[in-house]
């Protein structure tokens, strides 16, 4: 599933390709993805200029003339391909559900085999009140997201910190892998009750969340450079995980005797795998 860094990578690929161009044609090859397309979507989009491409949590927001916005979620398996002016667009394949043509010759093709993606039209200036966004927590990468803010949002919560970090109402877009990795770097046990995290620990955790997301975005960006397409699956920095998917291995920087301690431990929280070092994370 595309996480925040992957969606940000897609955003960075899309923004320069479509900003300033007008949508000239929209082709919908079915009536719905996860939900039906908004009523008269084709008619409402055609003719509008793209003014911005931003992101909120794991949603792309294509800002359009007249205070309109196309809300676009890539679901579990969605990919956006960008064809530049003059590039041949191949005949649609089975899972190419949406095509958007722009006045600068760019063509976007949205492919989504599992159809968990979503498109909706809304009012850009009122986006924070949209049902999808009104209960979503702060963006992790903004300056205003600090340890103090996190402590406040975790106050009184008895849930385990790993689950709290993945709760979109507390903070937006920190997925399973990034929650495990940030907790390891901040030496916090994923099982700690969220409400017991001190300000010092929260400061460390916020610092690590930002660092890890930025690193992932950078990795996605460098992958993107070598491809002409924008691909929702790009950008996981598999090779630099410290603990994720490393059950039984020694954790980096730890002198654990793996034969004695068992190394990195795997547990399941809220149905998702967590990896951590029980000796270093308290
Ligand atoms: Zn260790």
Q: Is there a catalytic annotation at residue 58?
A: yes
* pLDDT tens column, 259-271: 888 899 999 999 9
- For position 37, what pLDDT does the model report? 97
The full set of domain ranges for the chain reads 4-129, 147-276
CA of 244 to the centre of ligand 1 (A): 13
pLDDT the model gives residue 235: 44
Given the residues 2, 5, 140, 190, select the one marked as catalytic: 2
pLDDT by residue (tens digit) across 175-230? Answer: 888 999 999 999 999 999 999 999 999 999 999 999 999 988 887 755 544 433 45
Whether the per-residue pLDDT at 168 is higher than 90: the answer is yes
pLDDT cut 70: percent of the chain above it: 93
pLDDT on residue 230:
52
Q: Is 272 considered catalytic here?
A: yes
From ligand 1's centre to the CA of 211, what distance in Å?
Answer: 21
Mean pLDDT of the chain: 90
Please give the pLDDT value at position 50. Answer: 98
Predicted pLDDT of residue 254: 80
Q: Verify whether residue 2 is a known catalytic residue.
A: yes
Query: 27-68, pLDDT tens digit by residue?
Result: 999 999 999 999 999 999 999 999 999 999 999 999 999 999
Q: What is the CA(169)–ligand 1 centre distance, in A? A: 31
Q: What per-residue confidence (pLDDT) applies to 175? A: 87
| CA–CA dist 26, 46 (Å, integer) | 7
Distance 257 CA to ligand 1 centre (A): 9
Q: What is the 3-state secondary structure (H, E, C) of the chain?
A: CCCHHHHHHHHHHHHHHHCCCEEEEEEECCCECCCECCCCHHHHHCCCEEEEEEEECCEEEEEEHHHEEEEEECCCCCEEEEECCCCCCCCCCCCEEEEEEECCCCEEEEECCCCCCEEEEEEHHHHHHCCCCCCCCCCCCCCCCCHHHHHHHHCCCCCEHHHHHHCCCCCCCCCHHHHHHHHHHCCCCCCCEHHHCCHHHHHHHHHHHHHHHHHHHHHHHHHHHCCCCECCCCCCCHHHCCCCCCCCCCCCCCCCCHHHHCCCEEEEECCEEEEECCCCCC
Instruction: Tell me which of 11, 58, 246, 265 is the catalytic residue.
Output: 58
Annotation: CATH topology of 4-129: N-terminal domain of MutM-like DNA repair proteins (3.20.190)
pLDDT at 164: 98
What are the pLDDT digits (tens) for 133-160? 999 999 999 999 999 999 999 999 999 9
pLDDT on residue 237? 52
The whole-number pLDDT of residue 231 equals: 47
Instruction: Give the pLDDT of residue 76.
Output: 80
- Cα 264 to ligand 1 centroid, rounded to whole Å: 6
How far away, in angstroms, is 205 Cα from ligand 1 center?
A: 18
How many Å lie between the centroid of ligand 1 and the Cα of residue 117? 38
- Residue among 22, 192, 272, 280 flagged as catalytic: 272
Question: Per CATH, is 147-276 categorized as 1.10.8.50?
Answer: yes
Overall pTM > 0.75: yes
Average pLDDT over residues 91-117: 94
Q: How confident is the model at residue 110 (pLDDT cuts 50, 70, 90)?
A: very high
């Amino acid at each position: 599933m595309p996480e925040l860094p992957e969606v940000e990578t897609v955003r960075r690929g899309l923004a320069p390709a479509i900003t300033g161009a007008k949508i000239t044609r929209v082709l919908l090859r079915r009536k719905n993805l996860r939900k039906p397309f908004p009523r008269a979507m084709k008619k409402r989009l055609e003719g509008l200029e793209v003014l911005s491409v931003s992101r909120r949590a794991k949603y792309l927001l294509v800002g359009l003339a007249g205070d309109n916005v196309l809300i676009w979620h890539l679901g579990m398996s969605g990919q956006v391909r960008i064809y530049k002016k003059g590039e041949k667009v191949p005949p649609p394949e089975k899972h190419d559900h949406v095509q958007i043509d722009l006045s600068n010759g760019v063509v976007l093709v949205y492919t989504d085999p599992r159809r968990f993606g979503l498109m909706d039209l809304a009012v850009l200036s009122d986006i924070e009140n949209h049902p999808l966004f009104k209960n979503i927590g702060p963006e992790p990468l903004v300056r205003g997201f600090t340890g103090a803010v996190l402590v406040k949002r975790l106050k009184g919560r008895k849930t385990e910190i790993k689950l709290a970090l993945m709760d979109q109402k507390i903070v937006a877009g920190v997925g399973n892998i990034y929650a495990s990795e940030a907790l390891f770097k901040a030496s916090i046990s994923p099982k700690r009750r969220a409400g017991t995290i001190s300000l010092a620990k929260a400061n460390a955790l916020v610092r690590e969340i930002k660092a890890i997301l930025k690193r992932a975005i950078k990795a996605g960006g460098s992958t993107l450079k070598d491809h002409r397409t924008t691909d929702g699956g790009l950008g996981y920095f598999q090779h630099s995980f410290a603990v994720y998917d490393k059950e039984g291995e020694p954790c980096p920087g730890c002198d654990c005797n793996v034969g004695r301690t068992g190394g990195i431990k795997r547990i399941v929280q809220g149905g998702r795998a967590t990896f951590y070092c029980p000796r270093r994370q308290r």
